[in-house]
Every structure is written in C-alpha cells, then in structure tokens.
Amino acid sequence: MHHPTDADALCRLSATETAALIRSRELSPVEVTEAVLDRMAAVDGELGAFCTPTPELAREAARRVADDIVAGRETGPLAGVPMGVKDLISTKGIRTTSGSRAYADFVPDEDDVVVERSVAAGAVVLGKTNATEFGYSATGHNPLFPPTRNPWDLALTPGGSSAGSAAAVAAGLGPVALGSDGGGSVRVPAALCGIFGFKASMGRVPVYPGCRDERYPGVSGWESIEHIGPLTRTVADAALMLSVLAGPDPRDRHSIPCADVDWTGRRPVGRLRVAYSPDLNGRVAVDPEVRRAVDAAAKVLERDLGADVEEVDLQLPDYSRAFGAIVAAETDLTGMRAMADRLGSDMSPHLTALLRTPWTAEQFTDANMVRKAVVNRVARLMATYDLILTPTTTVPAFPVGVQGPELIDGRMVSTDHWTSFAGLANLTGQPAASLPAGRTEGGLPIGVQLIGRHLADGALLDVCAAYEEAAPWREAWPTSI
C-alpha cells in the first residue's frame, strides 16, 4: 500500500484501507483525523451534515490511538477510523437532540451500545450528524438545525432520517457513519447520496438506549421495527463495521447471537434466484430513470452473477397505513402528545399530525394483522427465492424542505409511498441493503435494494460485494462540493 499524502486522498480512503495503513504505521490516525476535520471546516457549512461536531474530542481520540500504536498496545479493528454518529443515537457527554427542540440541550449519561462498541474498537467520533425530528421522516430537515443538503446537488435533500450520516460519508467527511433504520432511514439516504447502506436482520445489532428507555418520549419508540446500521462507501467497510457492532446485549430484548455470520469473510455466490418487484405490482409510481437503473441492476445480477431474475407479483397488502399505525402504537403517545402541546409550532407538522390522530385500538390491531400477512407472505416467497430486488426509493433526490416528491410521470405520489420498498424489510426484520446503481441523466444517484432471507446476513453481504465488483461505484464522487 502506498502512503497517500494529499489531504483529499486521505478523505477518500475507505475505513478498511485507513485501518490497515494505521495498523502498519504507514499513516498516523492524527493525520487522517486532521484531514477530515479540515474538509469538514471547508464544506460542512454548506452541507449541514454535522449538527454537533466534536473536533477536539476527535483529536483526543486520534492521539490516544496513536499513543497505543507507538506503545505497542492492542488496538481494535476500527483504530483511527473517523466516524459520524446520527443524532438519534445516544452519546455519553455529547449533546444528542434527536432533531427536536424538546431535547435541544440533552446530554445523555450513557453511550448507545453501538457507540460503546465502535469507540472500544478504536473509532474516532467526529460528532453528531443531523436527522429528522425523532426520525419520523425520510428527509433531512428538523425544527432545530439548518437542513442537511445532498452533496450531489445542494438544493436537494439527501434523504433521511439518517440524513447527516449519509451526506457526510458521501462527501468524504469520514468513511463510515452510524445510522438508524425504522422504515428505511439508513437505506433511503444511502440511495439518494450514492453510497452503501446496510440494515442487518432484526436483533443482529443491539439497540439501547434508543427505543428502550421509557424515560424519554419520542426517543423511546419504534421498538419492533428499529435497526442501527452502517453507512459506508464500500461493502467491505459495512462488513468491517458489522463485525464490531453485531452480537447480543442484555439491554435489548430483541438482540440475537451472530456466531453464524462471518462478517468480513467472503464466500463465492452460488446460483441465485431473485424475485424482482419494480413497482409493487403497479401500486407505486416509480420514476422512469429509477426503473431503468433497477432493470440494469437486474441485468448485472443475471450476466455477471449468473442469477435467475424473475419479475414477481409479491402479492402484498398495502402496508403504508399500517406502518404509520405501528409507529404510533409503539411510541409514547401520552408523553409525545404532552410534548406536542408544549412545543406547538416548534414541532414538525407531520409529527404533530401523527400524534393528533385519534387512533383506535382497532386501528392498531388491524395494523398488526397487516404486518402478519406481510411477514407470512414474504416468508413463503423466500422459500423459493434467495433475494428480493426492488428500487430503494421511487425517486431520486427532490428539493430540500419538503416531505416527499409530488409528481412522478404526472401521477401524484403520496409521501408515504416513496419509501414503501424500504419499509418492507422493517416489517419482516430481514436483512436489506441499498446499493448505488448509477445516476440519472442529471447526475443524481439512484439506489437499488436487495433484501435477503431472514438471518442470511452474510449471504446478502456476499452478493452485495459481488455486485460491487461487477458494477463498481466507488470512484463516483459528489460534484457540488
């Protein structure tokens, strides 16, 4: 490995390369951290990826790693790797607002499990990345901070709710970032920003205190659909992150073992059967350029990976309304309604609308029945197919500040439906990834989604890595910053 000296080149290194160069002492963790902090200072004023940057803490962490290496002490697999942490994920001693005025000055007294594990593995935390209020939207604006913008076009949204994490990684402000995903919030911004986003099977990566700490209304929701996952520029980096993040923790009752997954090992991909659903059987309007990109991805799977790709009617009920009801049922409605009364117009309007809905017990139980129907239908489907292929989102990036796209091919698109493909894997708990699949004629990234069999996380990563080799995306670099 050669020693990259140019600061921009350091920002373009993957986490895997950075960690290897630091381990071999060809690169100093301090040098990498300074290069990324310099880039943050230069571009993040416009981009708005970090809402609470922590440059001094990052410098201290980098120096600690450097000292450990000089002293010959054991360092972890992420030693010296700069990392952003979504503002919904708890960080001890670092302000964590969840994008809400209710938590504008909140400083947690403990790290989330994933932060604890990343820091123990040597990661250098650059700060907190911007998110929508409590993660209740797939865009990048909230009532507290300037909106996060898409590094490919600053007038457009990066997607969300892990908006800042995706924008940061795409823009070279750290090779990896942590996001959370309750309905596509890792995969949606990965697609709109042209990077890789991975949501492991439910329970592989433990979540605590997010979702679980009943003291904090707004933060304590989404329990049966929430996941935390990495946003990266390469598949290998996501695998490296998962090797650190995965594994059970007693504080998360949903967490499961992962000794059955070799996260960083690569296995040859066997003969795959892929169920392709380009538009949920006509139920959602998909932008023609997105459709073309996903058709092209299907061809890559067939031609380069030898897969059998079959267009399939997934025969799913419309689960978009059920999704909203599940989210409402799992939140602290009492606590959040009191918060909405207190904040008034200082709370996101779409969130206030959800909380003001006069939900009934029947709506909540009906939503659970829809979910069961979805889970059972997909389980039967996966007895025949290894993977489901869909667009990640129905559209490329749209303007900053709105909740969703308005027209596709002249058809009105509800803000619920543009992320329908991504929400499916949250209902079922299956592993799912968004992979870059080229760009629109105007140069905007497009993502395709691959959903694996339940608990087949390693197999899904293998396919993602093989796809990345066949249709590389890594050299794509945002044009507007």
Taking each continuous run of H as one helix and of E as one strand, the counts in the chain are: 15, 13
Q: How many residues in the chain?
A: 481
* 454 φ, ψ (degrees, to nearest 5): -55, 125
Identify the active-site residue in 14, 137, 161, 201: 161
Identify the active-site residue in 86, 100, 180, 255: 86
What CA–CA distance (Å, rounded) separates 106 from 112? 14
Beta strands 273-276; 308-311: pairing state: parallel
- Contact indicator for 127, 94 with CB cutoff of 8 Å: yes
What CA–CA distance (Å, rounded) separates 244 from 132? 26
**Helices within 246-287 (DSSP H only):** none
Exposed (0-12), middle (13-18) or buried (19+): which is 57, by Cβ within 10 Å? middle
What CA–CA distance (Å, rounded) separates 100 from 434? 27
Catalytic residue list contains 118: no
Catalytic residue list contains 185: yes
Identify the active-site residue in 14, 90, 185, 243: 185
As given in the structure block, the two tokens for residue 73 are 């002490």
As given in the structure block, the two tokens for residue 187 are 């995969």
| Element of type H or E holding 276 | strand 273-276
Residues noted as catalytic: 86, 161, 185
